[in-house]
Amino acid sequence: MLTLKVINENREEVIRKLAKKRFAAEEVVNQIVTLDEKRRSTQTALDSQLSEINRLSKSIGGLMKEGRKEEADAVKQQVTELKEQSRSNEAVLKEVEESIQQLLVTIPNLPHDSVPEGNSAEENLIERSGGSFPQLSPDALPHWELAKKYDLIDFELGVKITGAGFPVYKGRGSRLQRALINFFLDNARDAGFVEIQPPYVVNAASGFATGQLPDKEGQMYHVGLDDLYLIPTAEVPVTNIYRDVILEEKDLPIKNTAYSACFRREAGSYGKDVRGLNRLHQFDKVEIVCIDKPENSYMRLDEMVWYVQTLVEKLELPWRIVRLCGGDMSFTSALTFDFEVFSAAQQRWLEVSSVSNFESYQANRLKCRYRNEERKIQLCHTLNGSALALPRIVAALLENNQTPEGIRIPAALVPYTGFELID
C-alpha cells in the first residue's frame, strides 16, 4: 500500500496518477491527510503528557523525603489526571490509526509514468511480437474438441467430480502438463531462479500482504473452519517468505520460482471465449518472483519480460507483448506487461502471462525491507510474473500444432514428454 509520506508529500500527484487507473482518489486522500494531521497532533499531546507524567513522578519521592506531603499529594493528583488524559489520547490515537489503515488499503498502487491512458484491454499498447502463424486446414479443431478426440482432457468428468472449471487430464494430456511444468522449472533454474515448493493454502495475513485481501476476497476460495485461503497463484506464499524480514543489500536480488496449482472462484461468463481451457477455477502455473532495490527494479522487470519471451519462443508459438493501460491494470501493479499467444483454431489471442513491478506497494504491506551499506533500512521493490500459466499454453499448442497425422510436440518439449506426436 502507499505510505503516508508519499500521500502527504505528493497529494495532488497521487490523485492525478490514480485517475489513470480510473480511481477517484481525491476524497479518500483528503480524508487520510486530515486524519494524519489529527494523528500527529494527538501523538504530540500524548508524548508531552507522558513526559510530564515521568517528570512529576520522579519529583514525588523528593517531596516526600523533605516532608512536603501536601505538595506530594497534589503532584500525585496531577499525575492521576494526566494519566487519564493520556489514556484518552491513546484511545483516540488507536482509533485514528485504524481509520487511516482502513482507508490506505482501499487505494491502488500508483501507475508508472509509462502506463498509457485507457479504460480497457482494447486500449493496451502492443510492445513487440514474434513467431510464425500456423496455416491450418479449414476443418481445424479447437482445443476442447482435440482434447476429446485424442482423449487428453475430460471436461465432463471434472464437472461430475467437482464442477465446471475443474478438468481432468488423462494419459498423454497429463504427461504434457507435467512436461510443461518441468520445462518451465528447468528453464527458470538455468536463468538463476531458486525453486520453492510452497503451501497451497495461506492465512489472511499472507493474502493481505500481497494485496489479494481485501481487494480480491470474493475471488479466493476460503476454508472457513480454519480461516485459510486456497492460493490464486504461487506469488502469494513465495512473496510472503519475506514478510517482516530485513534483507541485506548484498543478498539482493532475490529470484525465486515455484510451481503450484492455482484456485480462483471467478471464472467469467459463459461462451466460446471461456470454453475449454480458456478460463478455469483450478489450473497449473509456474511463477517467478523477484525482490530487489528500488533503483534496480525496472531493469529487473525488463529481464523478466525477456525471460518469458524466451519461453514462448522455445515453444514455437506466435506471441505478442502488450503494455497494459491504466484502466486494465491490477490493483497492486505499477507497470504490467501481458504476454499473449495466438490460438489459430479459435483465431484469437490468449493471455498466458502477466509480468508486473509493484515497486514498494507490496513491500510496504509485507514490511519487506533491506539494509543498505550505510546500515539504513528501506523498503524493497517486488516483482512477479507467470512463466508460464499452463491452460492457454496447452490450448495454443494443441490447436496450432494439429496436422493430419496428429498433434506435433515442439522440439524443446520432446525430451520432457518422451513423444514427438499425439496421434
Beta bridge partners of 284: 261
* pLDDT score, position 253: 97
Q: Which residues pair with 385 in a beta bridge?
A: 288, 355
158 contacts 166 by C-beta, under 8 angstroms: yes
Instruction: Write the pLDDT tens digit of every residue in 151-179.
Output: 999 999 999 999 999 999 999 999 999 99
* Confidence (pLDDT) at 68: 86
Residues 104-150: pLDDT tens digits? Answer: 999 999 999 999 999 999 999 999 999 999 999 999 999 999 999 99
Phi-psi region of 151 (alpha: psi -120 to 50; beta: other; left: phi over 0): left
Residuewise pLDDT in 10s, the chain (423 residues): 999 999 999 999 999 999 999 999 999 999 999 999 999 999 999 999 999 999 999 999 888 888 888 888 899 999 999 999 999 999 999 999 999 999 999 999 999 999 999 999 999 999 999 999 999 999 999 999 999 999 999 999 999 999 999 999 999 999 999 999 999 999 999 999 999 999 999 999 999 999 998 877 788 999 999 999 999 999 999 999 999 999 999 999 999 999 999 999 975 545 556 799 999 999 999 999 999 999 999 999 999 999 999 999 999 999 999 999 999 999 999 999 999 999 999 999 999 999 999 999 999 999 999 999 899 999 999 999 999 999 999 999 999 999 999 999 999 999 999 999 999
- Peptide bond preceding 397 in cis form (omega within 30 of 0): no
Q: Which three cell numbers stand for residue 117?
A: 491512458
Given this model, what pLDDT does residue 269 score? 47
Which pTM does this prediction carry?
A: 0.92
Quick one: pLDDT at residue 271?
Answer: 56
Name which of 14, 9, 37 is nearest 25 in CA terms.
14
Report the run of H or E that residue 342 belongs to, with start and end.
strand 335-343
Q: Say whether 352 counts as a known binding-site residue.
A: yes
CA separation for the pair 330, 219 (Å, rounded): 14
The three state secondary structure string of 165-180 is CCCEECHHHHHHHHHH
Q: Which helix (H) or strand (E) holds 157?
A: helix 155-161
Give the list of residues 6+ apart from residue 27 with CB closer than 8 angstroms, or none: none
Cα–Cα distance, 183 to 390 (Å, whole number): 11
Grid coordinates representing 206? 499472507
Residue 275 known to bind ligand: no
Query: Annotated binding residue at 386?
Result: no
Q: Which residues pair with 369 in a beta bridge?
A: 246, 379
**Structural domains in the chain, sorted by start:** 4-104 (1.10.287.40), 121-422 (3.30.930.10)
Long-range pairs of 228-231 with CB within 8 A, sequence gap ≥ 24: 228/201, 228/202, 228/203, 229/201, 229/202, 229/203, 229/204, 230/200, 230/201, 230/263, 231/198, 231/199, 231/200, 231/201, 231/202, 231/260, 231/262, 231/263
Is 353 assigned to a binding site? Answer: yes
DSSP string, 37-56: HHHHHHHHHHHHHHHHHHHH
What pLDDT score does 272 carry? 57
CA 409 to chain centre: 32
Distance, in Å, from the CA atom of 394 to the CA atom of 169, rounded to the nearest integer, reads 11
Tell me if 287 is assigned to a ligand binding site. yes
Distance CA(252)–CA(401), nearest Å, equals 41
Is 233 annotated to bind a ligand? Reply is: yes
Rounded to an integer, what distance in angstroms lies between the CA atom of residue 156 and that of residue 85?
67
Q: Is 266 annotated as a binding residue?
A: yes
Distances (CA, A) of 11 to 2, 17, 112: 12, 10, 16
Parallel/antiparallel/unpaired status of strands 335-343 and 348-357: antiparallel
Q: Do the annotations mark residue 265 as ligand-binding?
A: yes
Contact status, residue 339 vs residue 321, Cβ threshold 8 Å: yes
